[in-house]
């Protein structure tokens, strides 16, 4: 693999941030219980077939659409761009890449205006829009906050077989890499990419894809995340917790991963670091570093590496999933290869990594 996606001559759109995910769920009532009753997302608008949700600090119409449908999947990963003209730029950019595009002046989701959806070169349904309905930013409405209040959409995470290929394409589109995971043979296992001044707006996780790995919402504090764990325990729903709580190595954020009733993964995330300077240093982690994904050294459960949601093409059909050919991180970390370490130099079998990673 590693064939590079050609860089278009067209100017890329100026992307502001990840803005919303449009997901298909098979039981809207069960999803409503998870996202509204348990996680406390605010309902902007709802019908028999769709629910539009936002966290407390958001002022645009929604950050998540739950859409009732026959198969659990992801219909769009949507980004807000800086101006109406950037929607034109996005359309021209993807047309030059030879991708299928669809433009709708009234948007694909309620509250959103002129938008373009594309089947991107990695097979993901990406969307770009500027025009959007403003709703009340509930940031000051502490009377509405629960102890686990979700305040912002933080990022998406996508599974793709060839991470360097995806990274090159997203860098051309204007994303900057903040962190990655590699080995000393030059295999890249994952990369984190940003537009806003946080560690990421999206990340690429190496694996069979295209699939959606997770959507992440931010809380203000670590204690908010601990409350969500306590609440799930009290509701006898601890089986919704897949991984964590813990501290990531990558991003330095505090985290928790949940699975919704359809198995879509949701991360609750807080307190990563500022990345907005043009010379923000890239952090590269060695895949054998036991603290890269959990700073406390807790193992990552296998399902976190293997499971992910299907993504849809513009006709609403699932995109075929292509296997990853390069080594999988699951095999490295769970396969007990004997080459992992907590203190570099202490590894068993005398294996020593170069200082470049
Ligand atoms: O947001 C993230 C993640 O992509 O979900 C995973 C930040 C860090 C990590 S990792 O598991 O690599 O620490
Ligand atoms: Fe994440």
Answer yes or no: is 10 within a domain.
no
Q: Let me know whether 230 and 109 are in one domain.
A: no
Tell me the ligand closest to 250's alpha carbon: 1
Position 350 scores a pLDDT of 42
| Residue 96 Cα to ligand 2 middle (Å) | 31
- For ligand 1, atom 12, the nearest C-alpha belongs to 293
Judgement on whether residues 168 and 270 belong to the same structural domain of the protein = yes
Q: Which of 293, 304, 329, 334 to mutate to test the pocket of ligand 1 (most atoms within 8 A of CB)?
A: 293
Q: Do 193 and 96 sit in the same domain of this protein?
A: no
pLDDT confidence bin for 356, thresholds 50/70/90:
very low
Residue 181 lies in a domain: yes
Tell whether 121 and 19 lie within a shared domain. Answer: yes
Asked whether residue 9 is domain-assigned, the answer is: no
* Ligand 1, atom nearest to 267 Cα: 5
Domain count, the chain: 2
Output the CA 251–ligand 2 centroid distance in Å.
9
Domain for residue 238, yes or no? Answer: yes
Residues 207 and 98 in one domain: no
Question: Are 100 and 217 in the same domain?
Answer: no
Same domain for 158 and 111: no
**Does 61 map to a domain?**
yes
pLDDT digits (tens, 9 = 90+) for 64-108: 999 999 999 999 999 999 999 999 999 999 999 999 999 999 999
pTM of the model: 0.96
Percent of the chain beyond pLDDT 70? 95
Are both 224 and 265 inside the same structural domain? yes
Note down the domain range covering 36.
15-129
Query: 92-104, pLDDT tens digit by residue?
Result: 999 999 999 999 9
Q: Are residues 174 and 208 in the same domain?
A: yes
Query: Residue 3 domain-assigned?
Result: no
Is 92 found in the same domain as 172?
no
pLDDT at residue 355, rounded to an integer: 37
Residues 114 and 158 in one domain: no
- Judged by its nearest atom, the ligand closest to the C-alpha of residue 252 is 1
In a domain, 141, yes or no: no
Same domain for 324 and 185 = yes
Q: How many Å separate Cα 19 from the centre of its chain?
A: 11
Q: What percent of the chain has pLDDT over 90?
A: 92
| Interval 170-183 mean pLDDT | 98
Domain membership flag for residue 30: yes
Looking at residue 57, which CATH number applies to its domain? 3.10.180.10
Q: Is the pLDDT of residue 174 over 50?
A: yes
């Amino acid at each position: 693999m590693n064939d590079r996606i050609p860089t278009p001559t067209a100017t890329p759109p100026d992307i502001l941030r990840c803005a919303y995910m449009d997901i298909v769920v098979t039981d809207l009532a069960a999803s409503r219980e998870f996202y509204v009753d348990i996680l406390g997302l605010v309902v902007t608008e709802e019908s028999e077939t769709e629910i539009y949700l936002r966290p407390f600090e958001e002022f645009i119409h929604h950050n998540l659409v739950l859409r009732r449908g026959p198969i659990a999947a992801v219909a769009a990963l949507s980004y807000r761009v800086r101006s109406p003209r950037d929607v034109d730029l996005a359309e021209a950019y993807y047309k030059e890449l030879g991708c299928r595009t669809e433009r709708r002046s009234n948007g694909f989701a309620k509250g959103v205006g002129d938008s373009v959806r594309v089947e991107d070169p990695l097979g993901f349904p990406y969307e770009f829009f500027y025009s959007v309905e403003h709703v009340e930013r509930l940031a000051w409405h502490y009377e509405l906050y629960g102890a686990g209040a979700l305040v912002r959409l933080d990022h998406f995470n996508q599974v793709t077989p060839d991470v360097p290929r995806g990274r090159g394409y997203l860098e051309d589109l204007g994303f900057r890499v903040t962190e990655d995971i590699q080995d000393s043979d030059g295999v890249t296992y994952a990369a984190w990419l940003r537009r806003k001044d946080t560690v990421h707006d999206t990340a690429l996780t190496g694996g069979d894809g295209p699939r959606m790995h997770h959507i992440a919402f931010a809380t203000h504090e670590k204690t908010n995340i601990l409350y969500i764990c306590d609440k799930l325990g009290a509701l006898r729903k601890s089986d919704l917790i897949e991984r964590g709580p813990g501290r990531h190595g990558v991003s330095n954020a505090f985290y928790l991963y949940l699975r919704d009733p359809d198995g879509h993964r949701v991360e609750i995330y807080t307190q990563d670091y500022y990345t907005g300077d043009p010379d923000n240093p890239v952090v590269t982690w060695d895949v054998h570093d036991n603290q890269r994904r959990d700073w406390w050294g807790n193992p990552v459960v296998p399902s976190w590496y293997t499971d992910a949601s299907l993504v849809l093409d513009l006709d609403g059909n699932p995109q075929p999933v292509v296997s990853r050919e390069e080594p999988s991180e699951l095999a490295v970390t769970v396969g007990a290869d004997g080459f992992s370490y907590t203190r570099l130099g202490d590894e068993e079998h005398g294996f020593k990594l170069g200082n470049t990673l």
